[in-house]
A and B are shown apart, each in its own frame.
Chain A
C-alpha cells in the first residue's frame, strides 16, 4: 500500500501500486484514513525499535561497551559483574520496556546500595521510575557526553537546513526539466534532457561529490571542499553549495524522469486534444490543463524521495564533514553509542513513515477523481 521510491518504481504497469489503493479498503472519511495510517506507523515503529534494540545490544557490542566503560583491561568476571550491576543482564523485554518507558527504570547502585549518577553530563533517575522514550528521555550519549535529545535536536536542525536548500535546488530544476522534456516527447530537446537525467541517476552521492569537489574546490577553487564550518560558523554559500548540489543531483534525475513520463502521458489525453481543437493557446493548455494533472505523480515521488535523500544526506555529511543528523548517526554507530543509535533509528523511521503519509494525503488532495469519492 505504501509505495516508497525504494527499488525505483517503474512507470507503466506498476502505476497500480499508487498509494490511494489503500483507500479502496474502506473509506470512511478523512479521520478514519489518517487514524489507520498513524496506527500503522506506531505499530511499525514499535517493531523496528525492538529489532534495532536487539541488534545494538548483541553480546560483542555489550562486551566492547563494558570494556571501554571500566577503563581497564578488565577480566571476564569483572566485565560480567559490571554488565550485571548496570542492568545489561536483565531480560531483553524488561530492558526494552525500561527503554521505552512502560516499565520502571531502576537506578544504578554503588556498593553501599546508594543510587549513583553514571554520567556527569546527563541525569538519571535516583529512584525507580518510568523514564523512557515515551516520557521524552532518550538516554545518554556516551560518544558526545550529552543527553541524546539535545544532541539529536541540534543535529536535526543542521540537517534540516541542508535538506531545505537541497530541495530548493532540486525540485524546481527537476520539474522544469521533466515538464520540458515531457511536452516535447521525442524531440532533440527531450533526448538531450533524458540523457542528462539518466546520467545524474547513475551518479550516487559519493561519485557526484568527488567529481564536484575536484572541479569546484580543487581546480577552480571557487567553493569550500568541506562544510565543517557551516555548522560551527554559520551557513554561507561557499561552504554549503557543494553538499547541496551533490544531494540534489542524484535525486533530481529520478524526479525529472518521473515528471517527464507523467507529462508525456497527460499530453496524449483526450482533454488536451479537445483543448487544442478548441483553439486554446499553447501556454494556456500547458499551464491550465496539463500541468495540474501532470504534477500528481511527481508530487508523490518527491515526498517518497525522502528515504533516499536520508541516505544521500548521510554520505554527503560524512564526505563534507557537515555535522548533521547523518554525521551523528555514523559516529554513534562507529563508537557503539547504544542510546544515540537507537534514537537515530527511531527518528529516521519516523521521518520516512510520516513522509509516506504526507504523500498519500497530498495525492488525494491533488487528484480530484479520488477527492470526491
Chain B
C-alpha cells in the first residue's frame, strides 16, 4: 500500500506548528531574560554572549519539549500503527491524517513522538542523578580534604577504585537482572540517598544553630520531606503514594549516582585543598567558627562558579551515560522511548533505513552540546569574576 507523502515544506510547517508550546515558552523566557538582563546578575550576564545564549536556548528547548510532551507529540510513545511500519519521513497516516514528520520505526511508531517522549526520560533522570551525585561528592569531599588523615586516605582510595573501573563494565555488573533480584540496589540506594538529607541538615544546622527555634523547624521540615522521599525511593513505601520509582529505574539511578559521585568527590577535594590555604579561611578559623560552617558557608560559596560549571558538564555526561545504558539495553525497558534505546533499536536496520536513527541521535547530541556550551559560558564568566 502506497502512503501519501507531504512535501518537505508541509512537513517542516507541521513540525514548527506542533512545537508551538515550546516556541512560546522559549520566546517568553528569552525575551523576559533579555528585558531584565541588567537586574538578573550572573544569569543575565550569561546570556550576554552568543555561546551562553545558544547553549541556554538548546537546553530550554529540550526542557520545554519534555514538559509539554503530551501536547507536542501527536501520538503516545508506544502507539503502533501497522500501516506506518518503516514509513519514510513525511508520510501521512491514512487513519488520523497526521504527518509522520520523521517517519515510522520498525514497529510502526511515530519517530517524532518517541523522540519528544524520550526527552522526558533523559531530563528526569540525568539532572536529578547529577544533583544527588554532587551532594554525595560534596558531603564526602569537603571533610576529606579539610580534615585529611585516615578518612581522606580511605575515601580517596575508594574513589580511585571506582574510577579505575570502566563505566560500562560497572554498569554491566551493577545493572543486570541478577543484581536487581538481590537487595544490593536497595542497600546502595539506602546509603547513597542518605547523603542529600545529611547535606541539607548540615547546611541549616551550621548556619542557624544560634537560633534554636528556627533551626529545629528547618531540621524537622528537612527530615520530614527528606524522609518522605527517602521512604518512597528506597523502600517504595511512600505513605501518600506520590513518590514511586520502578525497580528498573532505581537500579539505573543508583548505578549512575555511584559511577558519577567519585569524580565529584575528587574535584571537590581538589578545590578544598586549594581554598583551605586562603586567608579568609584562616580568618574564619580565628573567629572560632566550626569546621562544618567553614566548609559549607565559606568554602562552598567561593567555589560556586566552578560547581555550577561542573554540574552543567556533568549533566551532559550523565545524559551520555544514560544513552549508553539504553544503547546496551541495560536496565531500561525495551519499549522505553529514551534516546539510547531508540538508537539501539534502529541500529539493526541502519544500512537500509537510516531515518529512525537520526532523530534520537541528533536529539542526544544537541542536548549534550547545549549543556557543554552553557558550561563554557559559565566558565568564562567564573573566570571574569
A interface with B by C-beta (< 8 Å): 1-4, 6-10, 12-14, 16-17, 44, 47-48, 51-52, 55-56, 58-61, 64, 198-199, 201-204, 206-207, 210-211, 213-214, 217-219, 225, 307, 310-311, 314-315, 318-319, 326, 329-330, 333, 336, 341, 344-345, 348-349, 352-353, 356
B177 proximity list for chain A (CB < 8 A): 60
B179 near A55: Cβ-Cβ < 8 Å: yes
Q: How far is the CA of A12 from the CA of B274 in the complex (A)?
A: 12
Task: Output the least CB separation between A92 and chain B (Å).
Answer: 14
17 contacting pairs across A/B (C-beta < 8 A) = A7-B264, A7-B267, A7-B317, A12-B379, A16-B270, A16-B274, A17-B270, A47-B161, A52-B173, A58-B182, A203-B368, A204-B323, A214-B357, A307-B164, A315-B324, A329-B172, A333-B172
- Interface majority SS (helix, strand, loop, mixed), chain B: helix
Task: Output the least CB separation between A258 and chain B (Å).
Answer: 14
Task: Output the least CB separation between B39 and chain A (Å).
Answer: 28
Beyond contacts A7-B314, A56-B173: 12 other A-B pairs, Cβ-Cβ < 8 A, are: A3-B266, A14-B267, A16-B274, A17-B270, A48-B161, A51-B161, A61-B178, A206-B323, A206-B327, A348-B165, A348-B169, A353-B164
B372 near A201: Cβ-Cβ < 8 Å: yes
B161 near A14: Cβ-Cβ < 8 Å: no
A52 proximity list for chain B (CB < 8 A): 173
Q: How far is the CA of A1 from the CA of B160 in the complex (A)?
A: 9
Residue in B closest to A350 when the chains form the complex, CB atoms = B164
B358 proximity list for chain A (CB < 8 A): 210, 214
Q: Is B361 an interface residue (CB 8 A)?
A: yes
Which single member of A12, A56, A329 contacts B383 (CB below 8 Å)? A12
Q: How far is the CA of A52 from the CA of B262 in the complex (A)?
A: 18
Which single member of B264, B306, B316 contacts A13 (CB below 8 Å)? B306
Binds A, one of B2-10, B109-117, B226-234, B347-355: B347-355
A198-B164 contact in complex given A60-B178, A333-B169, C-beta closer than 8 Å: no
A307-B166 contact in complex given A214-B358, A333-B173, A336-B178, C-beta closer than 8 Å: yes
Q: Is B309 an interface residue (CB 8 A)?
A: yes
B164 near A352: Cβ-Cβ < 8 Å: yes
B354 near A311: Cβ-Cβ < 8 Å: no
A219 proximity list for chain B (CB < 8 A): 354
A207 near B263: Cβ-Cβ < 8 Å: no
A210 near B357: Cβ-Cβ < 8 Å: yes
As a 0/1 sequence over residues 320 to 361 of chain B, the CB contacts with chain A under 8 angstroms (1 = contact) are 100110011000000000001001001100111010011001
Q: How far is the CA of A315 from the CA of B166 in the complex (A)?
A: 12
Task: Output the least CB separation between B207 and chain A (Å).
Answer: 25
Task: Output the least CB separation between A251 and chain B (Å).
Answer: 13
Q: How far is the CA of A219 from the CA of B274 in the complex (A)?
A: 53
Q: Is B293 an interface residue (CB 8 A)?
A: no
A202 near B274: Cβ-Cβ < 8 Å: no
As a 0/1 sequence over residues 135 to 160 of chain B, the CB contacts with chain A under 8 angstroms (1 = contact) are 00000000000000000000011001
A319 near B347: Cβ-Cβ < 8 Å: yes
A59 near B314: Cβ-Cβ < 8 Å: no
Task: Output the least CB separation between B304 and chain A (Å).
Answer: 12
Residue in B closest to A345 when the chains form the complex, CB atoms = B169
A225 proximity list for chain B (CB < 8 A): 350-351
Q: Is B187 an interface residue (CB 8 A)?
A: no
A16 proximity list for chain B (CB < 8 A): 270, 273-274
A2 proximity list for chain B (CB < 8 A): 160
B324 near A204: Cβ-Cβ < 8 Å: yes
A356 proximity list for chain B (CB < 8 A): 164
Q: How far is the CA of A202 from the CA of B372 in the complex (A)?
A: 7
A213 near B350: Cβ-Cβ < 8 Å: yes
Residue in B closest to A199 when the chains form the complex, CB atoms = B369
Residue in A closest to B354 when the chains form the complex, CB atoms = A214
A204 near B173: Cβ-Cβ < 8 Å: no
A349-B165 contact in complex given A44-B160, A58-B179, A333-B173, C-beta closer than 8 Å: yes
A311 near B274: Cβ-Cβ < 8 Å: no
Which single member of B260, B320, B361 contacts A210 (CB below 8 Å)? B361
Residue in B closest to A353 when the chains form the complex, CB atoms = B164
B361 near A211: Cβ-Cβ < 8 Å: yes
Q: How far is the CA of A348 from the CA of B164 in the complex (A)?
A: 8
As a 0/1 sequence over residues 295 to 329 of chain B, the CB contacts with chain A under 8 angstroms (1 = contact) are 00000000000100110011011001001100110
B314 proximity list for chain A (CB < 8 A): 7
Q: How far is the CA of A307 from the CA of B383 in the complex (A)?
A: 29
Q: Is B65 an interface residue (CB 8 A)?
A: no
Within 8 A of A (CB), among B172-228: 172-174, 176-179, 181-182, 184
Q: How far is the CA of A78 from the CA of B271 in the complex (A)?
A: 57
A314 proximity list for chain B (CB < 8 A): 166, 168-169
Q: Is B84 an interface residue (CB 8 A)?
A: no
A349 near B263: Cβ-Cβ < 8 Å: no
Q: Is B67 an interface residue (CB 8 A)?
A: no
B340 proximity list for chain A (CB < 8 A): 206
Residue in A closest to B319 when the chains form the complex, CB atoms = A204
Task: Output the least CB separation between A319 and chain B (Å).
Answer: 7
A202 near B316: Cβ-Cβ < 8 Å: yes
Q: How far is the CA of A207 from the CA of B350 in the complex (A)?
A: 12
B167 near A311: Cβ-Cβ < 8 Å: yes
Q: How far is the CA of A51 from the CA of B254 in the complex (A)?
A: 17
Residue in A closest to B320 when the chains form the complex, CB atoms = A204
Q: How far is the CA of A60 from the CA of B178 in the complex (A)?
A: 5
Q: How far is the CA of A201 from the CA of B314 in the complex (A)?
A: 13
A44-B161 contact in complex given A55-B174, A207-B361, C-beta closer than 8 Å: yes
Which single member of B157, B184, B313 contacts A8 (CB below 8 Å)? B313
Q: How far is the CA of A248 from the CA of B16 in the complex (A)?
A: 36
A14 proximity list for chain B (CB < 8 A): 267, 270-271, 306
Residue in A closest to B352 when the chains form the complex, CB atoms = A218
A6 near B361: Cβ-Cβ < 8 Å: no
A198 near B376: Cβ-Cβ < 8 Å: yes
B365 proximity list for chain A (CB < 8 A): 202-203, 207
Residue in B closest to A204 when the chains form the complex, CB atoms = B320
The 10 closest A-B pairs by CB, nearest first: A7-B263, A60-B178, A202-B369, A333-B172, A17-B270, A202-B368, A214-B354, A60-B181, A61-B178, A204-B320
Q: Is B83 an interface residue (CB 8 A)?
A: no
